[in-house]
Structure 1
Amino acid sequence: MFIINFSFSKNIFGKSFKSALFLISLLIVLLVGQTNVLSNPKRSEILWDNYGVPHIYGVNSQDAFQAFGWAQMHSHANLLLRLYGQARGRAAEYWGEDYLESDRWVVTMGIPQRAKTWYQQQNATFRSYLDSFATGINTYAAEHPELIDDEVKTVLPISGEDVLAHVQRVLNFTFVVDPETVTNLHQKPKHSKGSNGWAIAPGHSTSGNTLLLANPHLPWFDLFLWYEAQITAPGIDAYGATLVGIPVLAIAFNDNLGWTHTVNTFDGWDIYELTLSGKGYLFDGEVRDFTTKTAEIKLKQQDGTIQSQKLTIQSSVHGPLIKQEEGKALALRVVGLDRPGVLEQWWDMAKANNFKQFEAVLQRLQLPMFTVMYADREGHIMHLFNGQVPIRSQGDFAYWQGIISGDTSTTLWTKIHPYQDLPRIVDPTSGWLQNANDPPWTTTFPSAISPEDYPPYIAPQEMDFRAQRSARMLAETDKISFPEMINYKHSTRMEMADRLLDDLIPALRQESSTLALQVADVLEQWDRQTNAKSQGAVLFAAWLEEIDFDTLFSQPWQPNSPLNTPNGLADPQQAVKTLLAVATQIEQDYGAIDVSWGEVFRFKDGNLDLPANGGPGDFGIFRVVNFIPMENSKHFQAFDGDSFVAAIEFSQPVKAMALTSYGNATQPNSISTEDQLKLFAQKQLRPIWRSRQEVEAHLVKRKIISKM
């Protein structure tokens, strides 16, 4: 209710007093009416902007969830249904032998059954939200069957339990523990999972406003795809992104605060080696029986018939067995399987309006892992080493990376550390926080926390080159502006070049062969970046691919010099020998040793084929892009790395720019994805449309959500 007291002078207004009062009153009514229309819509709808981003306006939260389910189907129907089919453990039944190993993993880990338990453990209100999201999916399928591939329709209808099964498969059984890692214990996973995140306090920004940079980089396919959206309903107006199939925003901001995640150096799983005895295993000197269950895996044959296979699942007190041979067995233990509230936690994080509210939500510890990088309008910034960290009785981080003896209860963890035990930094004196998948000890300088104050198994002491590049850009800048932050985000400077070229170039010149001198000249003139026109980057990167990082440096990494080590060549002669062999191959493949980066490395999407920039984070490049060979070609195309990027300044109003590198849709009928890839190639972000007026000005599609 507004009470306005106007005092007018008749000498000024004369006969126009009543007319003026009427016009002012009419203006107030219109303004208040407009505000009510914008903040309390009379119908729930989705508005798509010209970059394929859905802006969801819900009369209530249930409608917003339904609309979000509908929107995800519009943009990713085939992918979403395939992911849900896999989360059920029935993908081989639907689509054949290619999914058999996936089904065995899902069923052995108990995902479908646990999803039923999790569903019942949701509070009634949030359970209804999950049902509404599923309703949105099913409604879209009923309205547009012609836009969905026939082979994935068999997954329909979707339920709230399917949503939770998918969440488990993504979070607990892909991010916390990667099935590739379990299968190949001594091999690096095929798919990298990383991120950059910055939070900058008002004292370190030129505008005096807090800044936040969100920059996950994941594979550009499958369950790793980000989906960008705005969700507005009573009590929430949040913008951000989530992984396809997840019904809430996982990285987001509102008018008052925002957060991003990075994959942290977190160990939430262990493999235990058991000694078999009789029909059981030894534990604390006694023989224990395995818990045994039998499941059925169905496999679709090439002729369309279904064949059934029995799957026997044995479990110890540690968890399900993943391998058994020669009197030994391996059992897998994973955190978070008794904590079903991750989706509600993310939802409430997006609804929070200040640091106190936000931290109260974090304290639930329902999110099994991920660093939380936070910033707000009041000037607070925070780095939280978030995770359901097991309370372990012994050992450091390296110890728990190996296979653990399961014969004794002393190694069996049963509880996790409470929130107050986790490494956490709020409002550091430096005015900035960064994380590039490095441990929490190096998130800012001067250091704000010490590893000696925490159990040695919490996180290792290390800092890779990308994290060093990240920290260096912030530490060497007195104050940073919003445009500068975006420019830094796109930095392709290679930290490893800065560490090695001062030794490598003189070693080449000492070799004094014609080729060695040519290589030295190319590397000396190289800008030490991986921009499209950078010459020398292909040569240097190809050399790095051929060497062993563990023996490369003369000076290893030192905790007391984290931004300047490792450094120096341990064996300059061998380095030169390898480099000259690489140079010969580069010249043979591309016709010149100074071939430009963008000629060899490409951004491709449909008919789009653009010179690429960026490169592997392992080389110390902040703008991470990973490449795979093109078929029947010496060239490479991007498939992994920078995906969703958001830069936010908590000004009045909030200033924000973003990009989803590969576009916001995979369905053939959706809005084109090429525009965003073009911007990505140009190292640009695009404006985020948040106000209803902005969205309407860039509107390309509208959908009214009907009640079911």
Structure 2
Amino acid sequence: MFHRFIFPTLIGLLVQSFAFAQTFSTEEVAKLQQQANQITIVKDKWGVPHVYTKTDADAVFGMMYVQCEEFFAKVENSLIVRLGRQAEVNGESDLYQDLWARTFIDPTKALQLYQRSPKWLRKLCDAYAAGINFYLISHPQVKPRLLTRVEPWMALMNNIPSIANSNLTEAEFRAFYGKDASVSLASLSPSLEHDFQQAGGSNGWAIAPSRTQNKNAILLINPHSEFYGRIEIHLVSEEGLNSYGAPFLGQFNIFQGFNEHLGWMHPVTLSDGKDLYAETVTKQGNGYVYQYEGKSKAVDSSKVTLKYKKGEELLSKTFTIYRTHHGPVVAVRNKKWISLKSQESNIDLLAVNWQKMKTKNLKQFTKVLNKRVMVGNNIVYADRDGNIGYWHGNFVPKRNPSYDWKRQVDGSIKETEWQGTHALEELPHYINPANGWVQNCNSTPLYAAGEFDSVMNRKPIYMLPDGNTPRAVNAVRVLNQLQNATLDDVIKAAHDPYLPNATRFIPSLISSFEKVKNDTVFAALAGAIKTLSAWDYRTDTSSVATTLAVLWTERLVQMNVAKLPRPITNEEQYSVTNGSNLSVDFLSPAEQLKMLGQVVAELRKDFGTWEVSWGKINRFQRPVEGKPFSDTEKSWAVPATPGYMGSLNAYVSRKSPQTKARYGVTGNTFVAAVEFGKVLKAKTVLTGGASTNSTSPHYTDQVNGYIHAQFKEIFFYKKDVLANAERTYKPGE
């Protein structure tokens, strides 16, 4: 039964609640309420929202309203970050992150993009703002940190490159813009150290009908990322929208998901559309010039004023942003200004991510992909017609392959300019390969269909920067074994406990002990070595060897990162932290054993013994937002390990100052196995559960399924949704 507000009374209450902010007029509230009345939200027995509407725009309204119900603080924060306004709430320390965002887009440009967008896309942007605004209006008890009103153009602040993925550090950017440009003409020496970060990533598999029991294509959607950064949702409109999956919070497209006809998965790739250029700059009059083809060109400049919080005051600081024809200046190295060239198709990017959700076959999907505006993402695909496919990258500029594009190139010559973009068919890709499956685990395309592809290896080297991750090695192993597969078989394969990098490196550690076992310094490690020698290289919560191996390999990753040339490129660091380019060759037997000794000592310090099972140290816990992990609160043992071990269901856990156990922070988030038959079937799991309310049964009702690969069957067809409905309502109720 619907419990509806009496419409005039609601408007009066809402306007009264927000009168102090003078944010919304009575007419605006009435219009938003009218739109809300066109939307029905059904939450099923797992708490998953299904949004039913007449129009696509109303579906966007409903999606954003639902996102705010569970994650308003994160939705607002995503907007604050993109607007370049973090320092207004967090203080001066975030000033340069704000400057980075405003270097690429500002509200004036975003508004212009909105005005240039096609009418259908503007409607979606309008609904995006409307859904968030109506949530604020109908929840006056929610106090935003900064934004009391969202505008439609904010949806187009969607294409800001990350600093780290641009082969820069925030320290470099801060060093350049934190000083006068005249000083920046010198060779600054900021710290170029990269903090060791365990790599995230994703797995995408597509399995052809020839390898499945029901002779239907199956798609595995398996992103790895920070926990609680997305929701599971189903959107249905009478304009042809019927998509299910996981949007990023603060965005209105289902980034990884499926409809009744086909599905898509986007593992991250190092093949991208960003490059650094070294510019030769000199002072001239009141400005600067840079050299290009033997001539001097003026460096463009513009002012930007940013606000920041200091105590109870809101202060401001004005910066001058510099640009060459390549893009904004972002650093200085060896007396050269460094500019960043990137792709800027904000409108097309927003459109593509929506349009793919409504495609019905390979031809339509490929037509959308052919816009070629997605940067840093691969595409794994399957459909109801039995097709499977894989594309490595999407927006890939044509470059001179004789240059090392991982590092800055000479900005003074034409030879380093982009020469257009590669056509979709020129990219590494597979459509219906003979082996019957494709995979990408943030890995090279050279093994995407199993065997090394010598033909694909002839592609330009800048298309192939990714390593062969141990997750990809594992994926090839399990996919080759799949025959007559069901959804459950695919889910089981995606949680296979074998750890390829343990097989690769632990024998070297054991061999190192044999070489120095008579050294009394290492005699105390005999027990640990015996445990590792008896291990089958499979993770399990009861395994002590897994504990030793993971903590030792973690130190090996750190040692490998430390020896990378500075400045470290994202390609080099990620290929180490994801386990692709790890090595023990530079370490002596004594050095390898010293790391094991550190592991043993740490375990003894925390637990009184080194014989600690992986399940005791590796835990899942979902504390209330803002509260720290605690060894005294309820938690669950997790068998999965970090991706650098080759664990397909990657799970990164960390100690905190107040704990001895390690608790999960990144890894599997929304995972789906989808079978595209005449009737769509899918099983999914979401980290913890669908609710952010710790008192809700949906806060941790998916934990056991998440840990033990027992996925829930989804409700896709409306009769099934209604038969399993837990709550039906309209926004504002």
Same fold (TM over 0.5): yes
Give the alignment's TM-score, normalised by structure 2: 0.82
Task: Give the Å deviation of 1:503.
Answer: 4.7
Q: Which amino acid in 1 is paired with 2:612?
A: V
Task: Give the Å deviation of 1:647.
Answer: 0.7
- Tell me if 1:96 matches 2:91: yes
In structure 2, the residue matched to 1:624 is 650
Greater CA deviation, 230-239 or 337-346?
337-346
Name the CA shift for 1:189/1:667 in 2 (closer, same or farther; >3 Å).
farther
In structure 2, the residue matched to 1:36 is none
Name the CA shift for 1:75/1:233 in 2 (closer, same or farther; >3 Å).
same
Task: Give the Å deviation of 1:530.
Answer: 3.0
Q: Which amino acid in 2 is paired with 1:168?
A: N
After superposition, the C-alpha distances for 1:58-96 in whole angstroms (9 at most, x for unaligned) are: 112222121112111112112111221221122322443
How many angstroms apart in 2 are the aligned matches of 1:156 and 1:461?
43
Contact kept? 2:76, 2:144, Cα under 8 Å: no
Say which of 515, 519, 531 aligns to 1:522.
531
Alignment of 1:307-326 (within 5 A): 307-324=315-332
Say which of 120, 128, 133 aligns to 2:123.
128
In structure 2, the residue matched to 1:47 is 42
After superposition, the C-alpha distances for 1:432-470 in whole angstroms (9 at most, x for unaligned) are: 111000121110123456344322221137312121111
- Tell me if 1:338 matches 2:357: no
Name the CA shift for 1:621/1:313 in 2 (closer, same or farther; >3 Å).
same
How many angstroms apart in 1 are the aligned matches of 2:277 and 2:153?
30
Give % identity: 26
After superposition, the C-alpha distances for 1:406-431 in whole angstroms (9 at most, x for unaligned) are: 12232122622222221110000110
Task: Give the Å deviation of 1:587.
Answer: 3.2
Greater CA deviation, 498-507 or 70-79?
498-507
- Tell me if 1:602 matches 2:610: no
Say which of 380, 387, 399 aligns to 1:392.
399
In structure 2, the residue matched to 1:416 is 421
How many angstroms apart in 2 are the aligned matches of 1:104 and 1:428?
46
Q: Secondary structure at 2:550's aligned position in 1? A: helix
Q: Which amino acid in 2 is paired with 1:156?
A: T
Contact kept? 1:597, 1:613, Cα under 8 Å: yes
Q: Which amino acid in 2 is paired with 1:357?
A: Q
Alignment of 1:158-307 (within 5 A): 158-165=150-157, 167-169=158-160, 172-173=161-162, 177=166, 180=169, 187=194, 190=197, 192-220=199-227, 225-234=229-238, 235-278=240-283, 279-303=288-312, 305-307=313-315
Contact kept? 2:539, 2:639, Cα under 8 Å: yes
In structure 1, the residue matched to 2:543 is 534
Task: Give the Å deviation of 1:135.
Answer: 0.7
How many angstroms apart in 2 are the aligned matches of 1:517 and 1:485?
39
Contact kept? 1:58, 1:232, Cα under 8 Å: yes
Name the CA shift for 1:392/1:425 in 2 (closer, same or farther; >3 Å).
same
Alignment of 1:385-534 (within 5 A): 385-395=392-402, 399-413=404-418, 415-447=420-452, 450-460=455-465, 462-505=467-510, 507-508=512-513, 511=517, 515-534=524-543
After superposition, the C-alpha distances for 1:143-189 in whole angstroms (9 at most, x for unaligned) are: 1121x2x242x412112211121x224xx447964775775766367
In structure 2, the residue matched to 1:372 is 379
Q: Secondary structure at 2:705's aligned position in 1? A: helix
Give the alignment's TM-score, normalised by structure 1: 0.84
Name the CA shift for 1:586/1:301 in 2 (closer, same or farther; >3 Å).
closer
Contact kept? 2:53, 2:59, Cα under 8 Å: yes
Greater CA deviation, 194-203 or 584-593?
584-593
Say which of 54, 62, 70 aligns to 2:65.
70
In structure 1, the residue matched to 2:136 is 141
RMSD in angstroms over aligned alpha carbons? Answer: 3.0
How many angstroms apart in 2 are the aligned matches of 1:379 and 1:385?
20
Q: Which amino acid in 2 is paired with 1:228?
A: E
In structure 2, the residue matched to 1:33 is none
Name the CA shift for 1:89/1:443 in 2 (closer, same or farther; >3 Å).
same
- Tell me if 1:589 matches 2:589: no
Task: Give the Å deviation of 1:109.
Answer: 2.1
How many angstroms apart in 1 are the aligned matches of 2:101 and 2:581?
42
How many angstroms apart in 1 are the aligned matches of 2:436 and 2:682?
20
Name the CA shift for 1:491/1:90 in 2 (closer, same or farther; >3 Å).
same
Name the CA shift for 1:129/1:424 in 2 (closer, same or farther; >3 Å).
same
- Tell me if 1:701 matches 2:727: yes
Name the CA shift for 1:503/1:410 in 2 (closer, same or farther; >3 Å).
closer
Where in structure 1 are there 5+ consecutive unaligned residues? 1-40, 553-562
Where in structure 2 are there 5+ consecutive unaligned residues? 1-35, 174-190, 564-578, 624-632
Q: Which amino acid in 1 is paired with 2:270?
A: T
Task: Give the Å deviation of 1:191.
Answer: 6.9
How many angstroms apart in 2 are the aligned matches of 1:393 and 1:339?
26
After superposition, the C-alpha distances for 1:320-348 in whole angstroms (9 at most, x for unaligned) are: 1112477431111112x035222322222
In structure 2, the residue matched to 1:659 is 685
After superposition, the C-alpha distances for 1:120-157 in whole angstroms (9 at most, x for unaligned) are: 232101211110121111111101121x2x242x4121
Task: Give the Å deviation of 1:670.
Answer: 7.1
Name the CA shift for 1:369/1:585 in 2 (closer, same or farther; >3 Å).
closer
Greater CA deviation, 362-371 or 135-144?
362-371
Name the CA shift for 1:367/1:636 in 2 (closer, same or farther; >3 Å).
same
How many angstroms apart in 1 are the aligned matches of 2:582 and 2:196?
24
Contact kept? 1:499, 1:568, Cα under 8 Å: no
- State the number of aligned residues: 644
Contact kept? 1:522, 1:536, Cα under 8 Å: yes
Contact kept? 2:467, 2:581, Cα under 8 Å: no
Q: Which amino acid in 2 is paired with 1:54?
A: P
- Tell me if 1:157 matches 2:152: no
Q: Secondary structure at 2:649's aligned position in 1? A: coil
Say which of 661, 670, 676 aligns to 1:650.
676
How many angstroms apart in 2 are the aligned matches of 1:112 and 1:189?
34
Q: Secondary structure at 1:329's aligned position in 2? A: strand
Q: Secondary structure at 2:621's aligned position in 1? A: strand
Name the CA shift for 1:542/1:680 in 2 (closer, same or farther; >3 Å).
same
Contact kept? 2:210, 2:436, Cα under 8 Å: yes
Larger Cα-atom Rg: 1
Task: Give the Å deviation of 1:509.
Answer: 5.1
After superposition, the C-alpha distances for 1:177-220 in whole angstroms (9 at most, x for unaligned) are: 47757757663674734100100001122332211100010122
